[in-house]
């Protein structure tokens, strides 16, 4: 399972002109499940995201996590957006292949699982809409953009 994190001042997702998810300061999490991912990879990825120290302290050093973005107990938001295109492989030409992405039903199941776990672990969680044509608006803070990947050890490419 992989994620692309963007530290944001605020972010929102719209579907057909309607806001479906919105946060203030926090993390925009683009999430992609691959074909052999399990809930265990989702749990590991979520734990890493929640503890990742990428928010600045008073000295400007990245010392705080989304669970305490200012060192004073302020919670940051998580905006979790499904994005299978993170699995793109463009090594074989100019048209990307997405063969490592999970099948749609499995991707939906793992995305829903990840969101449910995130909501249980963190009080400020918003989402996009799985498989929808979404418009994502954000103000990247920094900018700080970090890719994360947690892969099962026994995964063989299909």
Known catalytic residues are 83-85
Contact 79, 115 (CB under 8 A): no
- Which of 139, 121, 141 is CA-nearest to residue 12? 139
109 burial (CB, 10 Å; 0-12 / 13-18 / 19+) is middle
Q: Where are the alpha helices (DSSP H) in 4-147?
A: 39-51, 104-121
Contact 11, 79 (CB under 8 A): yes
């Amino acid at each position: 399972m992989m994620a692309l994190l963007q530290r944001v001042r605020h972010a929102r997702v719209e579907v057909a002109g309607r806001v479906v998810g919105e946060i203030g300061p926090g993390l925009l999490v683009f999430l992609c499940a691959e074909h052999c991912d399990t809930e265990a990879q989702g749990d590991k990825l979520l734990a890493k995201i929640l503890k990742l120290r990428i928010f600045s302290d008073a000295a400007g050093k990245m010392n705080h996590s989304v669970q305490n973005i200012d060192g004073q107990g302020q919670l940051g938001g998580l905006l979790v957006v499904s994005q299978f295109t993170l699995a793109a492989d463009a090594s074989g030409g100019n048209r990307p292949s997405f063969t490592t992405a999970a099948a749609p039903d499995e991707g939906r199941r793992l995305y829903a699982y990840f969101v449910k776990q995130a909501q249980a672990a963190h009080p400020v969680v918003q989402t996009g809409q799985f498989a929808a044509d979404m418009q994502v608006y954000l103000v990247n803070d920094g900018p700080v953009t970090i890719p994360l990947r947690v892969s099962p050890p026994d995964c063989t490419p299909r």
